[in-house]
Every structure is written in structure tokens, then in C-alpha cells.
Amino acid sequence: MYPVMRQEFFWKFSLSDLPFPLVFVKPTANELKKKATASEDILLDQAIDLNEAAIDSAPFQLVLGSSLHKVHTLFSLLALSHAYVTDRGRLVGVIALKELRDALANIYVRGAVPVISERKQTTNDLFLTRILNDVEEKSSRD
């Protein structure tokens, strides 16, 4: 029924029936600002349903430059699957348990070289490099 009403509307009125200024009216800056503000207000007033979202209520953070031993200990004791890496309060990367295991497994084989995996890494390469360099320096001292 809606398409019929729509067709009837267009049959009744055409662009030639409307006065020329009404067809090509450029909105003013104030009108555009009012429309934008109104649409922003509508969006901000909408409720967001977070019931389906998987939100970690207490995400674990690591400071950039944490030692590999400390990171491994925290993952083991707290049974973490991933941890967020921050530098001066800003998120730098995410390290997963699998990446930590790969780094630990290859530390003696490759001499503390970061693991190159086929999957997309979730950590910042700078973070892993710093951790592995720290471990290499500590092992060379001993």
C-alpha cells in the first residue's frame, strides 16, 4: 500500500508545479547547525544495550617494559588469557597467553628473538622486543 501512496504523491506533484525557489533552497549555516545538534542529541539520548557485549569487569594491565619472568608469573598465578599493555596510561597493545608461550618456548632456541607467527599479533612489536631484550641482557649477565 505504501508504494501506491508514494506513486500517487509523485503523480500529483511534479517539480514544475513547485515554485523555483522552493526546489533549490540552500540551507543556512544556522539551520545545518540546528539539525546536526538535534541529531546528536537524539543519538546521545538513546540507550545502549550492553547485555550481549563481553566486557571484562577487571582488565589486567601491564606496564611497558615489564620483564618476561614477571609477565609469565602474573599470567600463571592469575590464570590470565590476555593482558593490556600500557605506557603512561595509554594503551600500547595486548599480549595473549599464546604469544607469551611462543616467546618462552623459543627463548633458548633463537636466543630471545621475537617470534614471527603466521597469525596477526595482538601486541605491539616494540613491547615484545623490549621484554626479550631485557631477558637477553639478564641472561648474559649471569
Q: Would residue 89 count as lying in a domain?
A: yes
Q: What is the pLDDT of residue 1?
A: 45
Q: Would residue 53 count as lying in a domain?
A: no
Which of 39-43, 64-68, 109-113, 131-135 comes out lowest in average pLDDT?
109-113
Residues 29 and 76 in one domain: no
Residues 76 and 130 in one domain: yes
pLDDT over threshold 50, residue 57: yes
Q: Would residue 8 count as lying in a domain?
A: yes
Retrieve residue 127's grid coordinates: 613491547
What pTM was estimated for this model as a whole? 0.40
Residues 33 and 7 in one domain: yes
Q: Would residue 98 count as lying in a domain?
A: yes
Cβ partners under 8 Å of residue 76, min gap 6: none
Residues 14 and 75 in one domain: no
Q: How long, in residues, is the chain?
A: 142
- CA–CA separation, 70 vs 76, rounded Å? 10
Residues 89 and 137 in one domain: yes
| Three-class SS state of 28 | coil
Total tally of structural domains belonging to the chain: 2
Q: Would residue 52 count as lying in a domain?
A: no
- CA–CA separation, 37 vs 131, rounded Å? 48
CATH classification of the domain holding 134: 3.10.580.10
Residues 72 and 105 in one domain: yes
Residues 105 and 136 in one domain: yes
Closest CA to 62 of 110, 25, 95: 95
Residues 66 and 125 in one domain: yes
For residue range 65-81, list pLDDT tens digits in order. 888 888 889 999 988 88
Retrieve residue 128's grid coordinates: 615484545
Q: Is 97 exposed, middle or buried (0-12, 13-18, 19+ CB in 10 A)?
A: middle
For the chain, how are helix, strand and coil distributed in percent, rounded to 5? Answer: 50, 10, 35
- CA–CA separation, 120 vs 116, rounded Å? 10
Domain carrying residue 15: 2-45
Residues 36 and 80 in one domain: no
